[in-house]
Structure 1
Amino acid sequence: MDTQHPQQQWQQAVTAYAEAVNRHVAQGCAQGHDTAQAPCPPAIDHLLDAWQLALHAINRPGIDEHQRQLFREAWPPAHDPLLPLLPSHGQGIAQVLLLDDGRLLARIGMPHDNGQVVQIDRNGVTPMIGVEHFGRCPRRRYFALANAQGVRVTDGWGGPQVARLSWPHGLEGLPPGYPFDPFDLPPTPTRLLPLPDGRRVLLVSREGIFLLTPQGATRLLRREADILAQLADGTDPDDIALPLTQAHAALSPDGRRIVLGEQRGNHQVLDEHLEPLAEIVPAGEHPHFVLFNHRGDQLLLNACQGDGGASLGVTLANLATDPQVSMLQDGVQIHAGVARQGEYIVGDAQGYLRGFGEDGRAHWQHYLGSAISAMDISADGRTLVAASHAGFISLIALDSKRPAWQIGTGEHAEVRRWLFWKGWKKAMVW
């Protein structure tokens, strides 16, 4: 019988497993393809009750930062030991934003879930009443706040309102004279991206991709030309599928380029006047994700294929006449991503954060667990926030000494983790 305290068993097992995995990966990288069996996760399910009691205790009122740090050292964060609890407690987190003052915004629950927008700071978690979805412009100045009544644009988080935009009615960009139906309800945003002018917002949704302006909405996808081509081929209007699958879009850092796509077509690149610049064939069967690099002169375009995927790098110089396309990554299905100087950081379906260069060269990987659902990065590129379908939000100090319990190849340190779990009365800080 193990006579160690449950905390000691947890600490030793989690740390030993992380060190074993890191050695295994290092050996594989140094010696090429590694055929040795990967280490098995520790069998510490019997410690979960003790872990939960300790976690709830450290989240009582009056606990100071020093006590929290001691708790993290005693019960180091891990993912695999929690797998038995995830079916009943885990949930996706649709979006996270890191404000310049260190506060976090998050939407708990995926876009079509009955979720909640919250603000997170060192004093706790505060629900944002009247806000169901949010977004920020690439220059970090303007914010879009949405609910059933429409979309407000504010100058800064909590700043004055500068625009009020209506939801699309659903008939925008559809050929007149055909029996298309308007929306019964407003579209559910999967992304809201204000443009740097503070007057327009790019709405990405299953119902379509639209540009919202004070004058009304413009449908960008599905394109009217594609619908007309189907009608010309004799397709019955009732058989034309207007909803999008895996709709995605991104704005360039200066807001002068829009890239969009969905799983049944190519990636489209538009200028700030919505004029087409290029159409890019994806690297795989289903276009899935798009991201600009930090400077805005290269695109990462990801397409999924089964459980995997592939990412192209596209140089924006001479895009309309001679686009330079290269393979950046193969085998990774990207669910979220950010960029900093000289580096993409993406989250995949296996729970890894992966950093790699604009030439595709791998830099590092960092394990959080479960499919990554949302990410953001600070303006200086030194702090990363990532969320997962396990209901985790992880705050990571980049380019910092990696703790012994962290599975990963880079020198990055998680400094805080929040658990937003179904069935719990409040979020827990780990």
Structure 2
Amino acid sequence: MDKQLPQQQWLQAVTAYAQAVNDYVTQGRAHGWDHLEAPQAAATEHLLEAWLAALQAANRPGVDDQQRRAFREAWPPAHHPLVPLLDTHGQAISSLLLLDDGSLLARIGMPYEKGQVVRIDDLGITPVIGVEHFGRCPGRRYFALANAEGVRVTDGWGGRQVQRLAWPTGLEGLPPGYPFEPFELPPTPTALIPFPDGQRVLLVSAEGIFLLTSQGATRLLPQQARVLDELAEGSDPDDISLGLSMEHGAVSADGRLIVIGEQGSRHLVLDDQLRPVATIGPASEYPHFALFNRTGDQLILNACHFYSGATLAVRVADLPGLDTDYYSQDPLTPQVQDGARVYAAVARDGEYIVGDAYGYLRAFGEDGVEHWQHYLGSTISAMDISADGRTLVAASHAGFVSLIALDSQRPAWQIGTGAHGEVRRWLFWKGWDKPLAW
């Protein structure tokens, strides 16, 4: 093997490992895992210098599509060979949208990092000036664009501004008469979700979850009742933590339901007037993620424990008055996925696709039947799907952005069980002069 060219060694190693893993999974699912030994990847670290030189050459000005395809065929994408470089170069892509014109919008870096918003299209990668965070309504029409001055809502990407909303002061929803301190800086959005009317935005942040309107902000979490309980127990206001961990939220496509949660609460469902609808106990230790299905009549709720987790489902029609405890066996909240700690997910007709902490995209039906899995590598940090459900884009903490044609053909180098083919991958790596397309 050492007499082969570096790209031949890479191609053989990556393809052989993918085939071995896929065979291992097939055998394990069919006959059990007890007597199987997990495949080991061939050594490829000595090939990284040649890989990087070839990648840089494929991204030089003037390189045409045929040359880029030739590079990709000779050096097929893989995660395992790049592991030695990830500690130095890897970084999360915290937000990702697939726009209707086929271009991508991405925020490079974690929400709490300075980061950068970029637009990715056939012409290259362009910084988006004046926008630090973004989000889109479930109906794909309205966008929330945020910077230090506030949150703008536009009708379409690049469309007219329909609303401008101020950041919370930090005192919203806190008992008056106590020396609570306002925010020194605006909250850092984990998610910005405009409502389908374009007039309100759900702000999810570690500093609190708020509903932003033209009349001001309303605090949804932490709830005032919890703060009052701590004050009644004699806690000093300075010692009451108002911060959240694993904060998350979702808005139904019709705007009538809001789902919120964080590490220390059950899953909470509110109506559009912020009245309680349901309180649902998680299927694992810590509530972590929420998503409505494509038709809007079902909701999935994920909770995590370390790098694993569990996801339950509930029909929207069953939500009013629903009140379940942790690990409930309530038939109205069946578990539909076991094992995934979900940071990002999308829905298409009859199917959920979730990204887990181990680098897998996992698809399952609304009935909980597993459909397929697809390996990208490192924790999946952001995802989006096209309106027609045919194109998926996923990003990871390795600094990858992957554009995937669903229901197409799985290439020989792809680890996974579904017929899906990656079309393009971008590497947004720390320490590089520019991102590179693979």
Who is 1:364 aligned against?
Answer: 372
From the superposition, tell whether residues 56 and 164 of structure 1 become closer, same or farther in structure 2 (CA, over 3 Å). same
List gaps (5 residues or longer) in structure 2: 324-331
- State the partner residue of 1:30: 30
2:143 corresponds to: 143
Are the aligned partners of 1:27 and 1:34 in contact in 2 as well (CA < 8 Å)?
Answer: no
Per-residue CA deviation, residues 325-369 of structure 1 (Å, 9 max, x unaligned), is 101112221111001111110000000000001111111000000
What displacement does 1:114 show?
Answer: 1.5
Relative to structure 2, which stretch is displaced further, 387-396 or 278-287? 278-287
Structure-2 residue corresponding to 1:174: 174
- 1:357-391 per-residue CA deviation (whole Å, 9 max, x = no partner) reads 11111110000000000000000000000000000
Letter in 2 for 1:360: G
Cα distance in 2 for residues equivalent to 1:318 and 1:333:
25
Relative to structure 1, is the Cα distance of residues 116 and 10 closer, same or farther in structure 2, using a 3 angstrom cutoff? same
Alignment of 1:177-326 (within 5 A): 177-321=177-321, 324-326=332-334
Match of 1:384 in 2: 392
Instruction: Give ranges in structure 1 of 5+ residues lacking alignment.
Output: none
- Within the alignment, does 1:88 sit opposite 2:96 as a pair? no
Contact 1:142 1:194 in 2 (8 A): yes
Offset of residue 322 of structure 1: 5.2
CA distance in 1, matches of 2:403, 2:339: 26
Q: Report the Cα distance in structure 2 between the residues aligned to 1:189 and 1:415, rounded to whole angstroms.
A: 30
Q: Is the 8 A contact 1:259 1:268 kept in 2?
A: yes
* Matches of 2:254 and 2:350, distance apart in 1: 17
1:268 partner amino acid = L
Confirm or deny that 1:410 pairs with 2:418: yes
Contact 2:120 2:126 in 1 (8 A): yes
User: Does the CA contact (< 8 Å) of 1:335 and 1:372 recur in 2?
Assistant: yes
Quote the residue 1:425 is aligned against: 433
> Given the two structures, how large is their TM-score scaled by the length of structure 1?
0.98
For 2:131 and 2:343, how far apart are their aligned partners in 1? 24
Question: How far does the alpha carbon of each residue in 1:36-55 deviate from its partner, in whole angstroms, 9 at most, with x for none?
Answer: 11110120110000000000
Q: Give, in whole Å, the separation in 2 of the partners of 1:41 and 1:273.
A: 54
Structure 1 position 191, deviation (Å): 0.4
Matched AA of 2:251: L
Counterparts of 2:295 and 2:227, CA distance in 1 = 35
CA distance in 1, matches of 2:306, 2:435: 34
2:9 matched residue in structure 1: 9
> What's 1:344 paired with?
352
Partner amino acid, structure 1, of 2:414: Q
Deviations 1:182-223 (A, max 9, x none): 000000001000001111111000000001111110111111
**Secondary structure in 1 aligned to 2:296?**
coil
Q: Distance in 2 between matches of 1:340 and 1:30?
A: 28
Q: Secondary structure at the match of 1:68?
A: helix
Structure 1 residue 35: Cα displacement: 3.0
The structural deviation recorded for 1:34 is: 4.6
Deviations 1:27-78 (A, max 9, x none): 1111133531111012011000000000000000011112111111110000
1:100 equivalenced with 2:108 (yes/no): no
Q: Secondary structure at the match of 2:410?
A: coil
> Is the 8 Å Cα contact of residues 277 and 321 (structure 2) preserved in structure 1?
no
8 Å Cα contact 1:42/1:81 also seen in 2: no
* Percent of residue pairs identical: 70
Deviations 1:69-105 (A, max 9, x none): 1111110000000011111100011010000110000
TM-score, L = length of structure 2: 0.97
Give the 4+ runs in structure 1 shifted more than 6 A.
none
AA paired with 1:343? E
Aligned AA (1:421): W
Aligned equivalents of 1:396 and 1:164: distance in 2?
A: 35
Deviations 1:101-145 (A, max 9, x none): 100000000101110000000100000011000000011000010
Q: CA deviation at 1:252?
A: 1.1
The total of aligned residue pairs comes to 430
Query: Counterpart amino acid of 1:89?
Result: H
Q: Partner of 1:19: helix, strand, or coil?
A: helix
